[in-house]
């Protein structure tokens, strides 16, 4: 794996680990479509990804 890919993977993990939803704008394309069989509909676009991760963080908050 290239260093560029490792850096991207770490930044993606920061969305979950730190709740940094601003990174969604940097990582996801405007025409992103996420296919998750646990969701009733596909996740679409940057705003859809931000909503998905926000929902995930609310459902599974970090330990205190």
pLDDT digits (tens, 9 = 90+) for 2-18: 999 999 999 999 998 88
Residue 20 resides in a domain: yes
Query: Six-digit token pair at 13?
Result: 């993990």
**Can you give the pTM of this predicted structure?**
0.81
Query: Six-digit token pair at 45?
Result: 């676009």
Residue 64 resides in a domain: no
- Alpha carbon distance 2, 64 (integer Å): 34
Residue 12 resides in a domain: yes
Residue 12 domain boundaries: 3-59
The CA-CA-CA angle for residues 21, 48, 26, to 5°, reads 45
Residue 19 resides in a domain: yes
List the CATH number of the domain containing 16. 3.10.450.50
**Residue pLDDT tens, the chain, 64 long:** 899 999 999 999 999 888 899 999 999 999 999 999 988 999 999 999 999 999 988 998 877 7
Question: Domain tally for the chain?
Answer: 1
- Alpha carbon distance 59, 42 (integer Å): 19
Is residue 61 within 8 Å of residue 54, measured between CB atoms?
no
């Amino acid at each position: 794996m290239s260093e560029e890919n490792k850096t991207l993977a770490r930044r993606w993990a920061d969305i979950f680990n730190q709740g940094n939803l601003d990174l969604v704008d940097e990582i996801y394309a405007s025409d992103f479509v996420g296919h998750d069989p646990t969701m009733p509909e596909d996740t679409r676009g940057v705003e859809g990804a931000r909503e998905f991760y926000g929902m995930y963080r609310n459902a599974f908050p970090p330990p205190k």
